Chain A
Amino acid sequence: DTEVTQTPKHLVMGMTNKKSLKCEQHMGHRAMYWYKQKAKKPPELMFVYSYEKLSINESVPSRFSPECPNSSLLNLHLHALQPEDSALYLCASSHGRSGSAGANVLTFGAGSRLTVL
């Protein structure tokens, strides 16, 4: 299995809703990432988990809450989002061995397109 699977593909939610995005990989990768991408812009890093521990939080608002239950799963819990949070949310993974994302190939999921009304 060489894929990163993201669900759901599309999500529409109101500002008072609580929802979650899910990401799964079975490649034995030990680093997992959440990126946010607005239209016609490059991805922006949100969070990095390395060996199931949060290693990078790019000052993301607390209405986004990441969770890494095990080495294959990564969740992004969403609560009280704003319309400006509407974007494509991309999950990625890499080996995470000796070094960093710089020196390891990232495998991206197809993304979850989020619309906040």
Chain B
Amino acid sequence: DGGITQSPKYLFRKEGQNVTLSCEQNLNHDAMYWYRQDPGQGLRLIYYSQIVNDFQKGDIAEGYSVSREKKESFPLTVTSAQKNPTAFYLCASSPGGGITRETQYFGPGTRLLVL
């Protein structure tokens, strides 16, 4: 089945540690996104990529980094510079092209907790 997978489902981070969240899609979508969701709040955009080897900062990029070496993969690294990383992280993808009708489809999410 076509879809978006995220791993792990739960991730624990120690102080000063970098951790990487995985996002893979087999929908042949050009565009991919990372969002952060805090309890009781909406989603905020961290980074997005419209094509392989290119990505742009979203609204809350500080303390995060990404890479887009393959069309199907868009990993997110939460660095030690992110002082409050506890949140639910959602990855999404869309066909690309930037038309307003274009729908983003989401993965199941990764819950990151700080030890």
- To the question of whether A and B form a pair in one complex, the answer is no
- Chain A residues engaging chain B, CB cutoff 8 angstroms: none
